[in-house]
Structure 1
Amino acid sequence: MTAPQLRRANYGLDAPKVVRNLVLGAIAGLLLWGSASLGLWSGQLLIPLGADGLRIGVADSGRFFAIVLPLTALWMVWESKVGKLRNREKMLQRLTWTGKEQVLDLGCGRGLLMIGAARRLTTGTATGIDIWQTEDLSGNRPEATLDNARCEGVEARVDIQTADMRALPFADASFDVVVSRAAIHNLYDAGDRAKAIGEVARVLRPGGHALIEDIRHGGEYEASFMQHGCTHIERIGSRIEALLTTLITFGSLRPATLLVRKAGSIQEPDTNPARYSPITSISPTI
């Protein structure tokens, strides 16, 4: 008798509103360019300035947006459906796994890193926390995360909770590994981001590792980790790729991946997940 076929997990579309706005901008650019090409208008905007006025080639700008914006939207869709799965494996391979680790995923969303870590565990547990904002990730809800865990066959090794990364509901030195992908930047205040990094340092065991990937604020995270005694910090991943992303997005995205080790001796993982209690509701808005 053959084993049942596992369903394919669905980790959602990152920043769905951004993708929507890119498509709308591309349509607007196409209309401007197309209508000028058909001779419906001059394609230039005249601003009364000086004797002859200032003419701006709006149609040319429309052509640029009609080409660049849909390509950007397609890249974001590809990254959400294919790229981030490949990158997950590259990230997690940077750590040495025993299978006993207690892992925390900060802003787990639909469970991409949490489930990737759980696949490497035997007696350990991967815990994910989030406040489930759908503007950051399509279909972002606990049920979708648990469904993905079932799809990848790790439901028994995961635990998800509703909690704020600025005030984690876990005791000091509770986790061997803390991971996070494209989540901490959603805290718009620098002080709040510093609190989140401080919480990561607090719940890490001596000798434990944090693996943080984000689309901006990498230098800020490094400084915060240093302030909390995590001085072993390495930037990993392709610097050329990060630079190209920064240039292409005109500085809007400045990706960085940090591998951080907390000072001290590595402790034997505690495999009892009952040491903490889940939080089921939260008031702060990020």
Structure 2
Amino acid sequence: MSKDRNDLPPSRPPWPRYGVDAPAFPAVLAVAGTACWLAARRWRPGRTGATAAVTGTVLLANTGIYLHTTLHGKLRIWRRELDLADLKGDERLLDLGCGRGAVLVEAAKRLPRGQAVGVDLWSAKDQSGNRPDVTLANAAAAGVADRVEVRTADMTALPFADASFDVVTSALAIHNIPSPEERYRAVDEAMRVLRPGGQLIVADFWPMARKYAAHLGRGTLRGLGPGYWYGGPWLGVTLFHAVKG
């Protein structure tokens, strides 16, 4: 005798999928690399053909490194950095530019008695398939939907009271703000909503991270290594960590 569909246990949700950062960039790298290789086959065996082959190899290698970082490398590094943050499990954490939840969900796993709040403007240019329902679906797939909240908000004008979070994180988001003044405003807003003793943990390209530290006049900077290269060391990511006094 067959069971009614409503009596069957729910199917296991799919694993979280966090998309690709700035998807147009690796697409352009891949197309350019492929075009160079096709040109090299036409021009071989001369110097021009060799140059095109080398250029194509470099571009395709950069594409592979980029995709590894955005799909795997950054996730491993954020797991490590969140472990180093020594969370107690009852904190309230805010993730700026949360996207599809790569950092937000990993943080929520460490907050069984706390809450992880993500804010974003949901630009698909900055991350493929970037929508709040996708972020919530990823939280559900990871089993942390009960402690995750997402809001549509501008990180330069956060809709939260002063000193309302224990930790503020951000991964490759603040640099997307067009003007330096507004980027500094986002950093100031992050500090405003932190409680005294709270941690600000920001991963961004190294020139930006250095400017955030200089603007606040505090904090430490640490390169995150090849696992967080978006193609090569020239697009390497630095961690900026500051504690609110």
Structure 1: which amino acid aligns with 2:26?
V
Structure 2 matches for 1:75-154, cutoff 5 A?
75-154=65-144
Task: Give the match for residue 221 of structure 1.
Answer: 212
Alpha carbons of 1:32 and 1:247: their partners in 2 closer, same or farther (altered >3 Å)? closer
Residues 69 and 229 in structure 2, CA contact (< 8 A), matched pair in contact too: no
Alpha carbons of 1:146 and 1:191: their partners in 2 closer, same or farther (altered >3 Å)? same
**How far did 1:5 drift?**
4.3
Alpha carbons of 1:146 and 1:246: their partners in 2 closer, same or farther (altered >3 Å)? closer
Q: What are the Cα deviations for residues 196-231 of structure 1, in whole angstroms up to 9, with x where unaligned? A: 1111111111000011001241110101222xxxx3
Q: What are the Cα deviations for residues 88-116 of structure 1, in whole angstroms up to 9, with x where unaligned? A: 21110111212111100000000111111
Distance 1:79 1:255 in 2: 11
Distance 1:161 1:172 in 2: 17
Structure 2 matches for 1:1-286, cutoff 5 A?
5-37=12-44, 58-216=48-206, 217-226=208-217, 231=218, 233-238=219-224, 241=225, 248-249=232-233, 251=234, 253-263=235-245
Alpha carbons of 1:90 and 1:237: their partners in 2 closer, same or farther (altered >3 Å)? farther
Structure 2: which amino acid aligns with 1:222?
A
Distance 1:137 1:155 in 2: 21
More helix by share: 2
The DSSP-based 3-state class of the residue aligned with 1:115 is: helix
Q: What are the Cα deviations for residues 168-222 of structure 1, in whole angstroms up to 9, with x where unaligned? A: 1111111100000011111131111111111111111100001100124111010
Name structure 2 gaps, 5 residues minimum: 1-8
Name structure 1 gaps, 5 residues minimum: 44-56, 264-286
Structure 2: which amino acid aligns with 1:123?
R
The DSSP-based 3-state class of the residue aligned with 1:79 is: helix
Distance 1:247 1:108 in 2: 22
Task: Give the match for residue 3 of structure 2.
Answer: none
TM-score by length of 1: 0.76
Residues 6 and 153 in structure 1, CA contact (< 8 A), matched pair in contact too: no
The DSSP-based 3-state class of the residue aligned with 2:112 is: coil
TM-score by length of 2: 0.88
Residues 198 and 224 in structure 1, CA contact (< 8 A), matched pair in contact too: no
Residues 14 and 76 in structure 1, CA contact (< 8 A), matched pair in contact too: no
Distance 1:3 1:28 in 2: 47
Alpha carbons of 1:121 and 1:4: their partners in 2 closer, same or farther (altered >3 Å)? farther
Residues 106 and 178 in structure 1, CA contact (< 8 A), matched pair in contact too: yes
Distance 1:246 1:137 in 2: 14
Identity %: 37
**How far did 1:235 drift?**
2.2
**How far did 1:6 drift?**
4.8
Alpha carbons of 1:246 and 1:162: their partners in 2 closer, same or farther (altered >3 Å)? closer
Residues 223 and 237 in structure 2, CA contact (< 8 A), matched pair in contact too: no
Residues 185 and 193 in structure 1, CA contact (< 8 A), matched pair in contact too: yes
State the Cα RMSD in Å. 2.2
Tell me whether 158-167 or 75-84 shows the greater mean CA deviation. Answer: 75-84
